[in-house]
């Protein structure tokens, strides 16, 4: 595989939810490869369908591994958002125990699929009522999760979130220090834009701990489902900060498919081509913004 996809030689992936859910994961691999990406990021979320991946059979895993080999492709990372339903800082001890069980299953799945990084949603709690011990429980649970991640030799990393609890790199570094290390940073550029007063300083501060970035557009109070260019994230400036800090880590283009972009009246090949074109356009936007950052630096 050639890694010469951008001037900075970034490894660029696509979030699997950018591709219509009516395609199988094997088909998503083929679509992402056709669109010129280096890898795909797998989702394990709160839906029954995606949560069930933690119990994939060896046959199901083998089918995915075969597709990866045949297409010279990777699943470099997993977005593990199932913990929103079973948060690390829950007031209920049984929920916290469930969060650890989920984590171990995710680590085993990552090991079997060759996934290098598991991105964790850094929420103390999500749906449940706020309580005074949520951060304390979050840190205690994360210490156990770090222990497991070391056991399986998988990198775990916090996403910068759409809430103040973990909205900035400074805040993630504070949580990391409180846990005692062993967890890294996987910032979301769109979320960082919403909460960071000095984004350049934040990126410099976290440069040694950052293992990947999510590339996503946002607006105040709107954190998902925006087309690139509809939001106000200044990607050119963000790229300049990253280039100046000499950070060379993977990027995942985070976007979500739109049901109207799947035509149920036409054939598989036509819909396949539509999906390829949509995510290729997003990749083109990424590369355009990166090129402009390079040009502005002379």
Could you tell me if residue 233 is inside a domain? yes
- In this predicted structure, the answer to whether residue 245 has a pLDDT above a threshold of 50 is yes
Read off the pLDDT band of 8 (50, 70, 90): low
Read off the pLDDT band of 127 (50, 70, 90): very high
**With contact defined as beta carbons under 8 Å apart, do 25 and 16 qualify?**
yes
Spacing of C-alpha 57 from chain mean position: 24
Give the model's pLDDT for residue 9: 78
Could you tell me if residue 2 is inside a domain? no
Could you tell me if residue 287 is inside a domain? yes
- In this predicted structure, the answer to whether residue 5 has a pLDDT above a threshold of 60 is no
Give the model's pLDDT for residue 298: 65
89 or 259, which is more confident? 89
The structure tokens listed for 240 are: 């300049």
Give the model's pLDDT for residue 3: 40
Give the model's pLDDT for residue 42: 98
**With contact defined as beta carbons under 8 Å apart, do 261 and 20 qualify?**
yes
Could you tell me if residue 23 is inside a domain? yes
Domain that holds residue 180: 12-296
Give the model's pLDDT for residue 297: 81
**With contact defined as beta carbons under 8 Å apart, do 60 and 29 qualify?**
no
Query: Model confidence over 98-123: pLDDT tens digits?
Result: 999 999 999 999 999 999 999 999 99
- Mean per-residue pLDDT over the chain, rounded: 95
Spacing of C-alpha 38 from chain mean position: 15
Could you tell me if residue 3 is inside a domain? no
As a whole number of angstroms, the distance between CA 124 and CA 131 comes to 10
Read off the pLDDT band of 4 (50, 70, 90): very low
Query: Model confidence over 201-224: pLDDT tens digits?
Result: 999 999 999 999 999 999 999 999
pTM for the structure as a whole: 0.94
Residue with tokens 């009246």: 265
Q: How many structural domains comprise the chain?
A: 1
Give the model's pLDDT for residue 198: 97
- In this predicted structure, the answer to whether residue 169 has a pLDDT above a threshold of 70 is yes
Q: Map the chain to HEC letters.
A: CCCCCCCCCCCEEEEHHHCCCCCCHHHHHHHHHHCCCCEEEEEECCCHHHHHHHHCCHHHHHHHHHHHHHCCCEEEEEEECHHHCCCCCCCCHHHHHHHHHHHHHHHHHHHHHCCCEEEEECCCCCCCCCCCCHHHHHHHHHHHHHHHHHHHCCEEEEECCCCHHHCCHHHHHHHHHHHCCCCEEECEHHHHHHHCCCHHHHHHHHCCCECCEEECCCECCECCCCCCCCCCCCHHHHHHHHHHCCCCCCEEECCCCCHHHCCCCCCHHHHHHHHHHHHHHHHHHHHHHHHHHHHHCC
Read off the pLDDT band of 53 (50, 70, 90): very high
CATH code: domain of residue 153: 3.20.20.150
As a whole number of angstroms, the distance between CA 156 and CA 148 comes to 10
Query: Model confidence over 13-22: pLDDT tens digits?
Result: 999 999 999 9
50 or 9, which is more confident? 50
Could you tell me if residue 4 is inside a domain? no
Could you tell me if residue 166 is inside a domain? yes
List, in order, residues 6 or more apart from 286 with CB less than 8 Å away.
6, 12, 215, 235, 251, 253
Give the model's pLDDT for residue 265: 85
Q: What are phi and psi of 200, to 5 degrees?
A: -60, -45
Q: What are phi and psi of 6, to 5 degrees?
A: -145, 165
Could you tell me if residue 7 is inside a domain? no
């Amino acid at each position: 595989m050639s890694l010469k996809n951008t001037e900075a030689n970034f490894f660029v992936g696509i979030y699997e939810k950018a591709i219509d859910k009516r395609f199988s994961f094997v088909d998503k691999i083929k679509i992402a490869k056709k669109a010129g990406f280096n890898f795909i990021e797998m989702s394990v979320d709160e839906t029954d369908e995606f949560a069930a991946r933690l119990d994939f059979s060896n046959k199901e895993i083998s089918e995915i591994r075969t597709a990866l080999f045949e297409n010279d492709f990777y699943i470099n990372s997993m977005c593990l958002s199932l913990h929103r339903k079973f948060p690390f800082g829950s007031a209920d001890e049984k929920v916290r125990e469930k969060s650890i069980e989920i984590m171990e299953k995710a680590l085993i799945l990552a090991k079997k699929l060759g996934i290098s990084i598991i991105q964790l949603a850094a929420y103390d709690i999500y749906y449940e009522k706020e309580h005074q011990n949520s951060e304390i429980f979050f840190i205690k649970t994360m210490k156990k999760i770090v222990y497991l991640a070391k056991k399986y030799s998988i990198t775990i990393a916090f996403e910068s979130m759409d809430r103040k609890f973990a909205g900035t790199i400074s805040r993630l570094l504070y949580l990391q220090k409180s846990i005692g290390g062993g967890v890294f940073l996987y910032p979301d550029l769109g979320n960082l834009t919403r909460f960071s007063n000095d984004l350049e300083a934040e990126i410099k501060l976290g440069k040694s701990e950052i293992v990947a970035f999510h590339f996503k557009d946002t607006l105040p109070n709107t954190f998902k489902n925006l087309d690139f260019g509809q939001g106000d994230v200044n990607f050119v400036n963000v790229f300049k900060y990253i280039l100046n800090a000499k950070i060379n880590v993977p990027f995942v283009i985070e976007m979500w498919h739109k049901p109207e972009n799947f035509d149920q009246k036409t054939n598989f090949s036509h819909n396949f081509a539509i999906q390829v074109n949509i995510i290729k356009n997003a990749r083109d936007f990424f590369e355009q913004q990166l090129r402009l950052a390079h040009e502005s630096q002379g």
